[in-house]
């Protein structure tokens, strides 16, 4: 079996879906950066404060997720962008 290619990935949106996607991608060896708007810290404030994300479910444990409030950093980080915002966003 061939190894899976590793990618750098930017995730725009630091809510539950953005963090779940980041944790899954990181568990598969991909390099991930999560962007959050500086005035909408929400779920990300805990991750920023503690320095890690606690994962429960299919994947269990703690992981460090890189977070940025700079949209230009998120866009320049990767050619692969996932947009994970609510339908009302």
Assess if residue 28 is contained within a domain. yes
Q: Which residue has the tokens 């997720």?
A: 65
Assess if residue 89 is contained within a domain. no
Measured in whole angstroms, the distance separating CA 72 from the mean position of its chain's CA atoms is 16
pLDDT of residue 40: 84
Assess if residue 73 is contained within a domain. yes
Q: In this structure, what CATH number is given to the domain that contains residue 75?
A: 3.40.50.720
Specify the number of domains making up the chain.
1
pLDDT of residue 31: 95
Assess if residue 88 is contained within a domain. no
The vertex-52 CA angle with 85 and 3, nearest 5°, equals: 80
The range of the structural domain enclosing residue 16 comes to 8-83
pLDDT of residue 89: 61
Grouping H, G, I as helix, E, B as strand and the rest as coil, residue 29 is coil
Assess if residue 1 is contained within a domain. no
Q: State the DSSP code for 2.
A: P
* pLDDT in 10s for each residue of the chain, 89 residues: 666 679 999 999 998 899 999 999 999 999 999 999 988 888 788 888 888 888 888 888 888 999 999 999 999 999 999 999 777 76
For 51, the token pair is: 């320095």
pLDDT of residue 2: 66
């Amino acid at each position: 079996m061939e190894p899976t290619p590793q990618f750098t990935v930017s995730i725009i949106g630091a809510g539950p879906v953005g963090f779940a996607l980041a944790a899954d991608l990181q568990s598969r060896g991909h390099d991930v950066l999560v962007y959050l708007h500086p005035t909408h810290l929400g779920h990300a404030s805990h991750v920023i404060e503690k320095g890690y994300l606690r994962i429960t479910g299919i994947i269990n444990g703690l992981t460090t997720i890189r977070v940025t409030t700079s949209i230009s950093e998120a866009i320049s980080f990767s050619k692969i962008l996932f947009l994970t915002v609510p339908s009302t966003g």
